[in-house]
């Protein structure tokens, strides 16, 4: 056996993004219809008329969700939303989804109908049609994969790559809530495992639980951008955490950025819950993930259009690549930001 055949590289040495880069490096886009392939929130395909935007996400029991505290209806809803969020991140309107599931006989028909009730609620809320999918058996856990298809006029599609120094960095909502909701559910699960008679103490934590269990996609922001004729220079949805997703914009746009600590939006409940868990609220906001807010940049000249937007926070600025990605703390210190994000491997 040659040395090459003996070689074994652990996935953990590459991480999720390194792995995607390595596996897809040899693929060239050969078709003129492929406007954008791998590397953004969604692919952009142009067959004439309005380009088609396509994205897909896979959710696996035990990795992305825990059925001990995730109701199936919420799971169905969330599985759709995470995909619609990627379509919105391209400044596009979601139109269609396909849904594929792998299920074991652990699940009854009634349970799967609950899952589909959540999928349907998302379809209704976002005016999206379910147009297909696939159903197969699974040896144990549940797997759900959704593909979302959207459209946008070519000139309105936003990529991760358009940010330039001087642009203003904005986010559509508060951060860290989904992560703290998850910590809360995990804590109550452990309490339950130790003593199943114990009632969960979740009564007043509705905001954080909703952020984790029933997120929304920022379609309203996409509609607002159109209404006021504002075109963000770059955009991404925050699925892995503000720091990690800002890095994606910076890498794709070949720019640096700074975030002002004092401007990072954190909900009162999240702040309070972080303290209770002895966590730093800012760390939760920077690295928590799953908030599905949009992180976008706009040209300075568009500042007024952003200011009048409902629920938008100006959190920093784009700088030269050489300046790196920085956090300006409330005490006046400057730190390099590091991407932590989710590490499944
Ligand atoms: P997001 O967090 O926005 O869903 P991901 O981090 O999952 O994006 O993926 C980043 C990019 O890599 C996307 O363009 C996605 O389509 C692509 N990608 C992810 N996994 C694979 C894969 N196994 N093969 C090809 N492309 C992939
Ligand atoms: Mg995304």
Q: What six digits make up the tokens of 117?
A: 């009730």
Asked whether residue 345 carries a pLDDT value surpassing 70, the answer given is: no
Angstrom distance (rounded) from CA 187 to CA 201: 10
User: CA 307, CA 30: separation in Å to the nearest integer?
Assistant: 42
Predicted confidence at residue 339, as pLDDT, reads: 74
Arithmetic mean of pLDDT, 9-35: 94
Atom of ligand 1 nearest to the CA of 82: 4
pTM: 0.95
Structure tokens of 152? 């946008």
Question: What token pair was written down for 121?
Answer: 């609620």
**Cα of 60 to ligand 2 centre, how many Å?**
17
CB atoms within 10 A of CB 314: 16
Q: Residue 323 contacts by C-beta under 8 Å, 6 or more apart in sequence?
A: 256, 258
Answer whether residue 343 shows pLDDT above 60: no
| Ligand 1 site, residue 245, Cβ cutoff 6 A | no
**Pair 180, 288: CB distance under 8 Å:** yes
DSSP designation for 65: B
54/45 Cα distance (integer angstroms): 8
Ligand 2 centroid distance, CA of 27 (Å): 21
Q: Which atom of ligand 1 is nearest to 240's Cα?
A: 2
Ligand 1 atom at minimum distance from 39 CA: 14
Cα three-residue angle 341-74-213, rounded to 5 degrees: 40
Nearest residue (CA) to ligand 1, atom 2: 239
39 lines ligand 1 (CB under 6 A): yes
User: What mean pLDDT is predicted for residues 87-91?
Assistant: 98
Residue from 24, 38, 78, 246 whose mutation best tests the ligand 1 pocket (most atoms within 8 A of CB): 38
Share of the chain above pLDDT 90, in %: 87
Q: Which residue has its alpha carbon closest to ligand 1 atom 26?
A: 38
pLDDT: is 218 or 4 the higher one? 218
The dihedrals phi and psi of 282, each to the nearest 5 degrees, come to -65, -40
Contact 52, 34 (CB under 8 A): no
How remote is the CA of residue 160 from the centroid of ligand 1, in Å? 13
Q: Decide if 253 contacts 164 (C-beta within 8 A).
A: yes
Q: What is the pLDDT, as a whole number, of residue 344?
A: 54
What is the tens place of the pLDDT at every residue in 146-179? 999 999 999 999 999 999 999 999 999 999 999 9
63 lines ligand 1 (CB under 6 A): no
How do residues 128-145 score in pLDDT, each as one tens digit? Answer: 999 999 999 999 899 999
Q: Which atom of ligand 1 is nearest to the CA of 17?
A: 6
Region of 254 (left: φ > 0; alpha: ψ -120 to 50; beta: rest) is: left
């Amino acid at each position: 056996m040659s040395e090459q055949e003996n070689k074994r590289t652990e996935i953990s040495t590459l991480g999720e993004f390194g792995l995607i880069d390595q596996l897809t490096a040899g693929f060239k886009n050969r078709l003129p219809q492929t406007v954008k392939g791998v590397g953004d929130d969604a692919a952009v395909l142009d067959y004439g008329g309005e380009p088609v935007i396509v994205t897909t996400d896979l959710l696996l029991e035990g990795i992305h969700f825990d059925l001990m505290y995730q109701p199936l209806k919420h799971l169905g809803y969330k599985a759709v939303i995470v995909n619609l969020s990627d379509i919105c991140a391209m400044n596009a309107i979601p139109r269609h989804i396909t849904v594929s599931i792998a299920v074991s006989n652990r699940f009854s028909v009634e349970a799967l109908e609950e899952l589909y009730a959540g999928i349907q609620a998302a379809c209704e809320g976002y005016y999206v049609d379910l147009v297909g999918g696939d159903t197969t058996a699974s040896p144990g856990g549940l797997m759900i994969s959704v593909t979302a298809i959207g459209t946008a006029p070519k000139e309105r599609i936003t990529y991760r790559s358009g940010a330039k120094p001087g642009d203003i960095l904005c986010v559509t909502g508060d951060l860290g809530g989904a992560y703290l909701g998850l910590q809360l559910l995990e804590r109550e699960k452990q309490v339950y495992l130790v003593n199943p008679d114990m009632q969960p103490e979740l009564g007043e934590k509705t905001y954080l639980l909703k952020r984790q269990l029933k997120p929304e996609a920022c379609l309203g922001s996409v509609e607002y951008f159109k209404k006021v004729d504002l075109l963000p220079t770059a955009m991404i949805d925050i699925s892995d955490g503000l720091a990690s997703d800002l890095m994606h914009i910076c890498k794709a746009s070949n720019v640096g950025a700074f975030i002002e600590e004092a401007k990072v939006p954190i909900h009162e409940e999240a702040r309070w819950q972080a303290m209770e868990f002895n966590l730093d609220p800012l760390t939760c906001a920077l690295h928590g993930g799953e908030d599905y807010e949009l992180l976008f940049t706009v040209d300075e000249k568009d500042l007024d259009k952003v200011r009048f937007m409902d629920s938008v926070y100006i959190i920093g600025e784009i700088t030269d690549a050489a300046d790196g990605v920085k956090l300006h703390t409330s005490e006046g210190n400057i730190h390099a930001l590091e991407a932590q994000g989710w590490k499944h491997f």
